[in-house]
């Protein structure tokens, strides 16, 4: 029994090291950013669990928002300040760290749940693996402590499981096909249409728009399924992120099927805390939620307009 326990601990630390190495492979300069985020959120989370003080929650959320704003939106803010104030602030030319939105949102949800009393004082290794586990780290899905961390203490997770491995390979191959074959082919079609946008017939314009729509879906859902497959090969369960969204019967149904973990995050950690459909501010809360959902996708006015345009459909 003791030997099995020690083996599980070694396996856990090996997976942590593998995940850190995976994240560092693209650009090791991103690693300190990830580790600082983890260290601060772990410390604040412990303080929340111990003191139950809202001030610690506000501190943690403020840190995460400022952290994300600096790396993702600083140049966007400077551009708009220069346009409005006729100034000439130089660009910071910040290179966006890989997966920063995903690991920031994951940890923000953890802090909120800690304040609600839904977490315990997790060990450093469990928390580190929870944030860094490599199948989800780069592009999601967003994961939650209550779903992932209990898996780390189950010894069966550290034994080879042929059924899980076979299912994982199947998920991975399907996702890889969607990403490399369908999405990349659709990308070529969409790019060709956009490059000749001034000389298109209405059918060509619609064809390009549909190709771009399908490219986005097969690219992102393909990666999500690859992540699910890799995790399953390792005996871990990640949440499904897409559920045939283009079979939806309404816009609301579409959002329940598209990027499910982000939609759940926006609903549970933004829309409901804002008041949801209570207090007579239903539309305001929807607008703010979709606005921030749009900004999450990128720093630009097109994403702001895209986010708020959904409010009109939902209304």
Of the candidates 117, 149, 107, 130, the residue with the CA atom closest to the CA atom of residue 269? 107
List b or e across 44-65, with b for residues whose CB sees 16 or more CB atoms inside 10 angstroms: bbbbbbeeeeeebbebbbebbe
Q: CA angle at residue 18 from 15 to 24, to 5 degrees?
A: 140
Residue in 30, 28, 178, 179 with CA at minimum distance from that of residue 99? 30
Q: Is 96 exposed, middle or buried (0-12, 13-18, 19+ CB in 10 A)?
A: middle
**Spatial separation of the C-alpha atoms in residues 105 and 280, rounded to whole Å:** 28
Contact 77, 87 (CB under 8 A): no
Distance CA 260, CA 239 (A): 9
Is the CB of residue 202 less than 8 Å from the CB of residue 224? no
The structure tokens listed for 204 are 């060509």
What φ, ψ does residue 96 adopt, rounded to 5°?
-65, 120
Report the C-alpha gap between 56 and 99 in whole angstroms.
25
Cα–Cα–Cα angle for 264, 265, 267, nearest 5°? 65
Q: How many other β-carbons are positioned within 10 Å of the β-carbon of residue 166? A: 12
Q: Say if CB 169 and CB 233 are below 8 A apart.
A: yes
3-state secondary structure at position 12: helix
- Active-site residue, from 91, 136, 282, 297: 297
Is 257:242 a contact under the CB 8 Å cutoff? yes
Q: Indicate if 196 belongs to the active site.
A: no
Q: Which residues are catalytic?
A: 297
């Amino acid at each position: 029994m003791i030997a099995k326990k020690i083996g599980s601990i070694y396996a856990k630390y090996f997976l942590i090291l593998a995940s850190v190495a995976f994240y560092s492979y693209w650009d090791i300069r991103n690693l300190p950013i990830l580790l600082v985020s983890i260290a601060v959120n772990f410390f604040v989370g412990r303080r929340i669990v111990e003191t139950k003080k809202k001030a610690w929650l506000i501190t943690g959320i403020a840190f995460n928002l400022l952290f994300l704003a600096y790396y993702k939106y600083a140049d966007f803010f400077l551009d708009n300040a220069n346009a409005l104030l006729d100034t000439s602030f130089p660009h910071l030319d910040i290179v966006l760290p890989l997966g920063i939105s995903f690991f920031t949102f994951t940890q923000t949800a953890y802090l909120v749940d800690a304040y609600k009393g839904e977490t315990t004082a997790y060990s450093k290794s469990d928390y580190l693996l929870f944030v860094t586990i490599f199948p989800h780290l780069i592009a999601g899905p967003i994961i939650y402590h209550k779903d992932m961390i209990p898996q780390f203490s189950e010894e069966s997770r550290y034994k080879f499981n042929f059924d899980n491995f076979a299912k994982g390979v199947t998920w991975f191959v399907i996702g890889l096909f969607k990403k490399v074959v369908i999405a990349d082919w659709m990308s070529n079609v969409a790019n060709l249409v956009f490059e000749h946008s001034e000389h298109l017939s209405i059918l060509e314009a619609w064809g390009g728009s549909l190709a771009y729509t399908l490219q986005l879906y097969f690219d992102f859902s393909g990666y999500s399924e690859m992540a699910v497959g890799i995790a399953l090969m390792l005996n871990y369960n990640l949440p499904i992120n897409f559920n045939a969204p283009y079979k939806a019967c309404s816009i609301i149904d579409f959002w329940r099927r598209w990027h499910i973990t982000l939609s759940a995050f926006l609903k549970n950690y933004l829309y409901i805390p804002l008041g949801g459909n209570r207090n007579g501010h239903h539309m305001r809360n929807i607008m703010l939620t979709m606005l921030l959902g749009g900004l999450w996708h990128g720093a630009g006015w097109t994403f702001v307009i895209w986010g708020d345009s959904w409010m009109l459909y939902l209304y």
